[in-house]
Chains A and B, each alone.
Chain A
Amino acid sequence: MAVEIKTAGVKPVRTAFEHLIARFGDKPATRYQEFAFDTQPKTNFHYRPLWDPDHEIYDKSKTAIVMADWYALKDPRQFYYGSYTIARAKQQDAIDQQMAFLDERGALSELPDQAKRLITFSLVALRHYEWGSNTNNNFIAAYGYGTTITQAATMAMCDRLAMAQHLSRIGLFLDDKTGVSLDEAKEFWMSHSAWQGLRRQVENMFVVSDWFELMVAQNLVADGIVCPLIFQEFDRHFRSKHGNDLSSLTNYSVRWQKDFTRWVDAVIKTAAAESAENRELIDTWVKNWHLHINSAIDGLASELLGDEATASLTTINNEFNVRLSKLGLSAI
Chain B
Amino acid sequence: MTKAKKLSLKQNYTMLTKGLDWEPSYQKKEDIFPQLSFEGIKIHNWDNWEDPFRLTIDAYWKYQGEKEKKLYAIIDAFQQNNGQFNVTDARYIQALKIFINAVVGLEYSAWRGFTRLGRELGDASPRIATQMQAIDEMRHATTQTHAISHYNRFFEGMGNAPYQYDHAWYLSIPKSFFDDACSAGPFEFIVAISFAFEYVLTNLVFMPWMSGAAYNGDMSTVSFGFSAQSDEARHMTLGLEVIKFLLEQDPDNVAIVQKWIDKWFWRAYRVLSLVATMMDYMLPKRVMSWDEAWTIYYEENGGALFADLARYGIKPPRNAEVTIKEKGRLSHEMWSIFYANRDVVGFPLWLPSQEEMAWFSEKYPDTFDKYYRPRFEYWQELEDLGTPYTNSTLPQLCQVCQWPCLFTEADDPTEFVHRETEFDGEIFHFCSDGCHQIFEDEPKKYIQAWLPVHQIYMGNCLLPDADPSSPDFNPMAEAIRYMGIKPGVDGGLFKDHSDAKNWEKWTERPANIHQGASTDFVRKTSSQNSK
Contact = CB atoms under 8 A, between A and B. Distances in A.
Partners in one complex: yes
Interface of A: 2-3, 5-7, 9-10, 12-19, 29, 31, 34-35, 38-51, 57-58, 80-82, 85-86, 88-90, 92-93, 96, 103-106, 109-110, 127-128, 131, 134-135, 138-139, 141-143, 150-151, 154-155, 157-158, 161-162, 164-165, 168-169, 172-173, 176-177, 179, 182-183, 186, 189-190, 199-200, 203-204, 206-207
11 contacts: A10-B82, A16-B153, A19-B162, A35-B145, A47-B183, A50-B183, A50-B185, A81-B143, A161-B128, A177-B4, A190-B22
A165 B68 contact: no
B115 interface: yes
A182 B14 CA distance: 11
A82 B19 contact: no
B463 interface: no
Which secondary structure characterizes the binding site on chain A?
Answer: helix
Contacts of B31: 206-207
Given A47-B179, A81-B139, A179-B15, A34 B5 contact: no
A76 B508 CA distance: 45
Nearest to A179: B15
Nearest to A57: B182
Contacts of B146: 31, 34-35, 82
Interface string B1-23: 11111010000000111111110
Contacts of A81: 68, 135, 138-139, 142-143
Contact of B507 (A3, A42, A169, A206): A3
Given A81-B68, A142-B112, 11 more contacts: A17-B159, A31-B146, A35-B145, A82-B142, A138-B127, A158-B60, A161-B131, A168-B20, A186-B22, A203-B24, A206-B31
Contacts of B182: 49, 57
Given A35-B146, A41-B165, A109 B4 contact: yes
B167 interface: yes
Given A89-B62, A105-B1, A46 B450 contact: yes
B4 A82 contact: no
Contact of A189 (B1, B22, B61): B22
B20 A110 contact: no
Nearest to B452: A44
Contacts of B154: 10, 12-13
Contacts of A9: 506
Chain A to chain B: the 4 pairs with minimum beta-carbon distance, closest first: A89-B65, A12-B153, A82-B68, A162-B57
A138 B119 contact: yes
A85 B57 CA distance: 10
Interface string B129-171: 0010011001101110110010011111011111101110000
B501 to A, nearest CB: 12
Given A57-B182, A86-B69, A154-B135, A165 B16 contact: yes
Nearest to A103: B4
B330 to A, nearest CB: 23
Given A41-B108, A47-B183, A177-B15, A88 B65 contact: yes
A5 B18 contact: no
Nearest to B128: A161
Contact of A203 (B27, B167, B455): B27
A42 B64 CA distance: 30
A103 B104 CA distance: 44
A265 B25 CA distance: 32
Contacts of B62: 89, 92-93
A151 B134 CA distance: 10
Contacts of B86: 2-3
A44 B138 CA distance: 22
B27 A82 contact: no
Given A35-B141, A86-B69, A168-B16, A200 B26 contact: yes
Contact of B160 (A18, A41, A179): A18
Query: Which of A15, A41, A42, A173 has the most chain B CB within a 10 Å cutoff?
Result: A41
A199 B26 contact: yes
B513 to A, nearest CB: 12
A96 B175 contact: no
